[in-house]
């Protein structure tokens, strides 16, 4: 935790930005699509279902989705393919190598909004860190493509810690600023989760949405922003688990034997994740606050990963000793669904303007890995 006596310079978040995709799917549309798909699949496999060699696909329920998750809708980069019962995934045009990639395309408006808040321009950027749960290619790095599109100097790289990618990227940015390897770092989270979601199965089809967030980080004494947030501390942790998994990778085509196609998209053991992750995250936040000499009651707002409303309530209760109100732990997943690493940053982006100088908040993400990251910030 930097202070007047610390050898490390203070670092601040000086701007945030959000790109919201042009199309949205509500729960009713999603349920109608999966119902048609599941009925067709069940009819085609009726004999195997009767023989007990395959399981019948259960039909989705609109009321269940909102009750179980708090999600009402989600934004997507392309909806016609998702809602097509014969396709059930986005319908995206392949781009040539001389065209800007789709993740870079959605990143630029988010970055430029963040830069405008920070009082900076494209040319001020000298580091770009892309953190997201899925990258459209192995290389060249999307971050370097974004760097080129901005006309920025310095360096860039991609990183993936699933839903915790934003907080892990923030710590990397803080470290770069403190060690002098960058002066103006952009952290950007271009999440096209509709590309890895399993829209064919009831337990998963409603979970994810697309979005892109961006943050600008600078050394505090160099900030020209009127709404800076000093980073009081960051804390990261990981613990291996297969309960959230996606096996898509470059070795798929080299492996011997057939693979279930549902293994190369998102899958999870939801109940086990709920039981294990909630106490893990609550303890992580509590320990982090203790390390910074802060009491939970001193935290004005929690910007939590937007995966599931009940999870967020239970985590915040584990920290505060009570269920938080919407002001203390704002929710955006009802509109956006789970946007992976972007979720906690969307909450921070949308729900921080009313806080006063001196107010302290926690940006926290958690997810596959398991992974959890927390960033404690103070309004300057």
Nearest to 334 by CA among 307, 311, 304: 307
Quickly count: other Cβ atoms within 10 Å of residue 44's Cβ. Answer: 10
List strands edge to edge, sheet with 229-238.
Answer: 155-159, 127-131, 184-191, 211-219, 11-19, 229-238, 371-379, 360-367, 299-304
Cβ pair 13, 6 in contact under 8 A:
no
| Phi, psi of 281, rounded to the nearest 5 degrees | -70, -45
Place of tokens 């085609």: 44
Residue-by-residue DSSP string for 255-316 = SSS---GGGGS-EE-HHHHHHHHHHHHHHHHHHHHHHTT--GGGEEEEEE--S-HHHHHHHH
| Strand runs labelled E in 58-106 | 73-76
| Most distant CA atoms of the chain, gap in Å | 74
Cβ pair 132, 101 in contact under 8 A:
no
Quickly count: other Cβ atoms within 10 Å of residue 164's Cβ. Answer: 29
- Which residues are tagged catalytic? 163
DSSP 213: E
Nearest to 147 by CA among 188, 98, 193: 188
Distance between CA atoms of residues 93 and 359, nearest Å: 46
Cα 348 to the center of its chain, rounded Å: 12
């Amino acid at each position: 935790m930097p202070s007047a006596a610390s050898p490390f310079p203070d670092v601040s978040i000086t701007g945030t930005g959000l790109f919201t995709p042009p199309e949205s799917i509500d729960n009713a549309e999603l349920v109608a699509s999966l119902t048609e798909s599941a009925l067709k699949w069940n009819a085609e496999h009726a004999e195997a279902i009767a023989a007990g060699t395959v399981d019948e696909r259960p039909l989705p329920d609109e009321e269940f989705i909102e009750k179980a998750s708090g999600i009402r809708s989600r934004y997507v980069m392309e909806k016609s393919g998702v809602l097509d019962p014969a396709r059930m995934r986005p319908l995206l045009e392949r781009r040539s190598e001389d065209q800007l990639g789709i993740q870079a395309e959605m990143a630029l408006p988010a970055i430029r909004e963040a830069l405008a808040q920070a009082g900076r321009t494209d040319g001020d950027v000298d580091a770009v860190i892309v953190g997201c749960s899925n990258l459209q290619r192995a290389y060249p790095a999307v971050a370097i493509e974004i760097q080129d599109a901005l006309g920025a100097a310095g360096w860039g790289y991609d990183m993936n810690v699933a839903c915790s990618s934003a907080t892990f990227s923030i710590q990397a940015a803080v470290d770069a600023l403190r060690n002098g390897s960058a002066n103006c770092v952009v952290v950007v989270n271009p999440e096209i989760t509709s590309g890895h979601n399993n829209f064919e199965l009831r337990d998963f089809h409603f979970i994810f949405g697309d979005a892109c967030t961006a943050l600008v980080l600078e050394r505090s004494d160099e900030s020209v922003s009127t709404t800076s947030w000093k980073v009081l501390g960051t804390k990261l942790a990981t613990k291996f688990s297969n309960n959230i998994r996606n096996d898509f990778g470059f070795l798929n085509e080299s492996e011997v034997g057939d693979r279930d196609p549902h293994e190369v998209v998102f899958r999870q053991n939801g109940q086990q994740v709920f039981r294990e992750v909630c106490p893990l995250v609550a303890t992580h936040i509590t320990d982090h606050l203790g390390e910074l000499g802060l009491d939970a009651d001193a935290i004005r707002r929690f910007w939590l990963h937007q995966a599931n409303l009940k999870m967020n309530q239970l985590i915040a209760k584990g920290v505060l000793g009570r269920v938080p109100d919407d002001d203390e732990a704002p929710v955006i997943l009802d509109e956006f669904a789970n946007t992976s690493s972007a979720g906690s940053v969307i909450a921070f982006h949308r729900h921080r303007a009313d806080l006063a100088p001196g107010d302290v908040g926690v940006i926290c993400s958690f997810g596959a890995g398991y992974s959890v990251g927390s960033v404690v910030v103070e309004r300057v």
